[in-house]
Amino acid sequence: MSEMNVADNIRVVLVSPLYGGNVGSVCRAMGNMGLSRLMIAAPGNLDMGEARKMACHARDILESRREAPDLKAAVADCAVVVGTSARLGLYRAHSSTPREFAPEILNAARDRQVAIVFGPEDNGLGNDDLAVCTHILQIPTVAGLSSLNLSQAVLICLYEIFLVVGSFEPSEEKAPVATTDLRERMFEMWREMLMDVGFMKDDMADHMMMGIRRVFSRGALTTDDVRILMGVARQAHHAARRGKAASEPQDEIENEVVQS
């Protein structure tokens, strides 16, 4: 099954959300992570204007949302129902983290309907709703500050699923890593430039250049990186030479005045 089909089998279910802005932000988080199926169970009187505003470029997710009278109806066709909870207790002790359970969600969604359920902003999912869930997720936080904004919680859970899907391709550096020969030419140019601008004297040049080398060796330098640094050294070198040349006639005039 393709990644698109898997995404179509995963729905986000919000139970009685209180604020339209949060619903819109949830839509935006879903769009960021490649999901589009939103279900609202037991919806109240939401400010949909605020929801549209916060949904930003994911308004299509908001407009295509479905609604159900309660959680049971919202997940009636789902084989896996994953509830989220920040609270501890007897019925929540078997929870997993989103990172631990994301592979299971993805595997289930290959041939079954999966729901990821989030409770109201004030109290979260109650025990009656948790009873409908087949699994429980708990997002790790520091002790005493377990409450997250609704859209933050949705984004964290969906982000972990997105990573498991593996569809993200980070941009690659086009320029090759600089060769030793090119790097050594750059260091020689920097040595001459730093001497010209008075940053270091000849008797300390070797020592200072070891420090410069350490700075430029904290990560791989590409050919483009090295050429930029060589350009900086070249321009500073020319500027320092022009400054010296401009100061020499003035020195001669001052000497003549003193001698007279």
pLDDT tens-digit series, residues 194-231: 888 888 888 888 998 998 888 888 778 888 888 888 88
Q: How confident is the model at residue 148 (pLDDT cuts 50, 70, 90)?
A: very high
Least confident range of 27-41, 67-81, 126-140: 126-140
Residue 218 has what pLDDT?
A: 78
Residue 257 has what pLDDT?
A: 37
Helix runs in the chain, H state only? 3-8, 20-32, 48-55, 59-63, 71-74, 98-109, 127-132, 150-165, 180-196, 205-215, 223-259
Least confident range of 9-13, 171-175, 206-210, 211-215: 171-175
Residue 133 clears pLDDT 60, i.e. is over it:
yes
Residue 255 has what pLDDT?
A: 43
CATH class of the structural domain 3-165: alpha beta
Residue whose token pair is 């994953």 = 82
Q: How confident is the model at residue 252 (pLDDT cuts 50, 70, 90)?
A: very low
How confident is the model over 124-131, as a mean pLDDT? Answer: 90
How confident is the model over 166-188, as a mean pLDDT? Answer: 78
Q: How confident is the model at residue 171 (pLDDT cuts 50, 70, 90)?
A: low
Q: Which of 18-22, 235-239, 241-245 has the highest mean pLDDT?
A: 18-22
Residue 259 clears pLDDT 80, i.e. is over it:
no
What residues does 117 pair with on adjacent strands? 13, 83
Q: How far is the C-alpha of 81 from the C-alpha of 47, rounded, in Å?
A: 27
Q: How far is the C-alpha of 9 from the C-alpha of 30, rounded, in Å?
A: 14
How confident is the model over 80-103, as a mean pLDDT? Answer: 81
Give the domain ranges of the chain: 3-165, 180-259
Residue 3 clears pLDDT 60, i.e. is over it:
no
Q: Reduced to 3 states, what is the DSSP secondary structure of residue 253? A: helix
Q: How far is the C-alpha of 196 from the C-alpha of 240, rounded, in Å?
A: 6
Cβ-count burial of 53 within 10 angstroms (0-12 exposed, 13-18 middle, 19+ buried)?
Answer: middle
* Average pLDDT of the chain to the nearest whole number: 86
Identify the CA nearest to 116 among candidates 62, 157, 164, 168. Answer: 157
